[in-house]
Structure 1
């Protein structure tokens, strides 16, 4: 069937990709005068109801997440010949697979890309979706003023967590799929974590781990792949150990979550040291909950204990705390009571309230580290040690300021553009907000008049809803 010159209001420019079930076209939205990607079901599948359902399910999954690091769906419809189509964010920078084929990538570039893809996965998981097909060909790049941005695409194998809690049919790309997914076992976020580790391995070395070509061969994998240094001699040992732990066939031996993996990868790259969290997850110590905050800069940095003789000098990335273990126990109770994975997902997605003295804030449960200063300020983050120096670290600063006057301007944080200011909604202004566009996660800074004090809240996160929810929840209660 010949492709028409347009679909709806979208004028087709050229074909940019094709797979087994669909074709992707660069198109122009004539009403908005913008370039978009139009993905349309291949004509030979038009009568297959199951394939149509899967195609439309991908659009629904993509719509569940509002993330800079996941390709967005802007429209969905049906062509004149009855084929469904969806309109996606156009990625003009090609794929990670293209870049890997072109030659070795710089280590810093790999860490940046894997961090961005990991954020996209976190946002999918937070909305109750597993990707199940993370691979270099599904990592796209979109140009923006700061360079380019990696985005996850193609959720054709995506599944709701409530569905993958049951036994599912095998699927995925052999070189990048987790063994438990091939075996049809009940899945969780660690299946996508394994695939992300496999993508990292390929990006660092130019070759996929194990080199398997069939799903059956994946079932025979019994150990992590060979050291990356056997393929690229200059790969630092610390990075090699971090990535290979993500590729443990036994998911209980992998990093417990995406934050742990991403924090360890960045730490290994920045310091060259093997992160402390490489000890088995069950043996990870709970991080300290009270360390000084640098009040002068209004951003906190956790102090690092002085090592004793024979210990490694390392920063402590986010780990599972006692609270997380309690959540796991509660989840087991929910499951035992017949709540199913839906109940487990609900427990994990609920925010947790964190406080010190008169200050409190509700944050995502992955923000497990807290730094405080004399009950006057605190930082809650994925990694308080990196909060001040690394603008990609997600978290929130909450602090009390002297005076009773709301500021009219705000100084941009590092790597951020000047702020846009929310206009007052009433003549009696009790708060003011400044929104910063940054190279890393965007920043929302809000000042509130509360009980004769000015409460300053600065939230750093990719997701606009998360930023707003966290800022709104911050309170000062003397």
Structure 2
């Protein structure tokens, strides 16, 4: 959509971010003469009640916490077109992902950032909220008189600790998510601790641990990642030991809490020595299976407390089939489900095109290095409109189209223009729904992407993942 002049009482300055479900604008609160960020639900999700509910739940989670290290919510409302929005603290210093991409961080700077993010997590946990999606892209920076300050953002996957004490649906970002979260197990604060350890690993080395790109791969992790010194030779051994302890797949072998991890990290950085009393996780005695309270049955005792009966710990392998089934079900859901729909990155050899797709889109066809089709059956892509998949290609044009030919079985669509792109969302009968986008990538070239799939989450995420990077 074209930029509206204002949302509520906030005048919009420019768009600063966009995802599958919402767009974020830099705006000015004219009454307070202050810069703010306005996050508004994308118009194609306005009728989805589950997405609206989760969007508003994120605002409530953020509102629960008054912390310097968590993005604050200052207002919430509904735009003239019915879309909910929330007004957030504006972070003018970019993201940790940006800084990692720009080059190696100095060790003291990395420790400072991880400490501040850890404080934000502690404040969330104290208010009964688990973040569940801690990653560099969700660590923002705000400029203060004394420097900048790291803040946690995006609680789109946030859950109350009461909810995650029960079995939960899998979710998270593969490179940073705890294995037990992927398996849909009961969660506690150690899931966020694992993710913070993964962020620390990336801050020190420039790369996420393990390098996994799918939740299925996370299920196979059975040991901490390789030493950080394999990626950056000057990482002190003491820091390496502390961070990798946070990345134990078995949560009982991790640091017991955030304070233990953060204190050990600061001590390792300050003294250059492994903190006194730290036993390497690999040398810790393993609890007997019958004593591990992972699969628990709880019942209220007469005293008002909870009695816990422990069952033998379920192996990760045994839970894979159940978890995979849960992933399939979750992928059909709304807000948050898109985070684990895409499992396989696909590139065109020696060209700047790429896209991420579901695992069952296993066939790829390339046309002279200028386009690709990834689908369930590339041979049938042109002739069978029931074939699910994606086409990504380049078009020579200086002007975005105002009309487009509807695919077979679909009705013509009204163009949705947004900045340098135009999108057509077709209504289709008896064939998979189609969405098509043209994006101007330079003066003479457009990126054309067409996605066929009945799952709206899959369509949007595949569409947004397509890239042209010359």
CA contact (8 A) 1:95 1:141 kept: yes
CA contact (8 A) 1:131 1:192 kept: yes
Compute the displacement of 1:140 (Å).
Answer: 0.2
CA contact (8 A) 2:300 2:306 kept: no
Measure, in 1, the Cα distance between the counterparts of 2:129 and 2:306. Answer: 15
Q: Mark the CA change 1:229 to 1:167 in structure 2 (over 3 Å): closer, same or farther.
A: same
Q: Which has the higher contact order (CA 8 A, sep 6+)?
A: 2
Compute the displacement of 1:335 (Å).
Answer: 4.7
Compute the displacement of 1:277 (Å).
Answer: 4.1
1:260 match: 260
| 1:199 matched to 2:162 | no
Measure, in 2, the Cα distance between the counterparts of 1:20 and 1:161. Answer: 26
1:37 match: 37
1:337 match: 300
Corresponding residue SS for 2:200: helix
Equivalent residue runs for 1:207-222 within 5 Å: 207-222=207-222
Measure, in 1, the Cα distance between the counterparts of 2:208 and 2:176. Answer: 7
CA contact (8 A) 1:162 1:342 kept: no
Equivalent residue runs for 1:142-161 within 5 Å: 142-161=142-161
Compute the displacement of 1:20 (Å).
Answer: 1.3
| 1:61 matched to 2:61 | yes
Measure, in 2, the Cα distance between the counterparts of 1:251 and 1:109. Answer: 27
C-alpha distance after superposition, 1:361-399 (max 9, x if no partner): xxxxxxxxxxxxxxxxxxxxxxxxxxxxxxxxxxxxxxx
CA contact (8 A) 2:168 2:185 kept: yes
Compute the displacement of 1:96 (Å).
Answer: 0.1
1:431 match: none
Measure, in 1, the Cα distance between the counterparts of 2:306 and 2:110. Answer: 36
Measure, in 2, the Cα distance between the counterparts of 1:162 and 1:55. Answer: 19
Compute the displacement of 1:279 (Å).
Answer: 1.9
| 1:22 matched to 2:13 | no
2:233 match: 233
Equivalent residue runs for 1:456-471 within 5 Å: none
Measure, in 1, the Cα distance between the counterparts of 2:89 and 2:178. Answer: 28
CA contact (8 A) 2:245 2:280 kept: no
| 1:177 matched to 2:140 | no
Equivalent residue runs for 1:78-89 within 5 Å: 78-89=78-89
CA contact (8 A) 1:334 1:343 kept: no
CA contact (8 A) 2:242 2:261 kept: yes
Corresponding residue SS for 1:243: helix
Corresponding residue SS for 1:36: strand
Return structure 1 stretches of 4+ with deviation > 6 angstroms.
Answer: 341-344
Equivalent residue runs for 1:323-334 within 5 Å: none
Compute the displacement of 1:35 (Å).
Answer: 0.1
Compute the displacement of 1:2 (Å).
Answer: 2.9
Compute the displacement of 1:280 (Å).
Answer: 6.6
Measure, in 2, the Cα distance between the counterparts of 1:240 and 1:4. Answer: 49
C-alpha distance after superposition, 1:94-122 (max 9, x if no partner): 00000000000000000000000000000
Q: Mark the CA change 1:342 to 1:111 in structure 2 (over 3 Å): closer, same or farther.
A: farther
Q: Mark the CA change 1:17 to 1:255 in structure 2 (over 3 Å): closer, same or farther.
A: same
Corresponding residue SS for 2:122: helix
Compute the displacement of 1:334 (Å).
Answer: 12
2:11 match: 11
1:2 match: 2
1:276 match: 276
CA contact (8 A) 2:41 2:83 kept: yes
Measure, in 2, the Cα distance between the counterparts of 1:92 and 1:112. Answer: 18
Corresponding residue SS for 1:184: coil
Compute the displacement of 1:337 (Å).
Answer: 2.0
Compute the displacement of 1:276 (Å).
Answer: 2.2
| TM-score (norm. length: structure 1) | 0.60
CA contact (8 A) 2:38 2:88 kept: yes
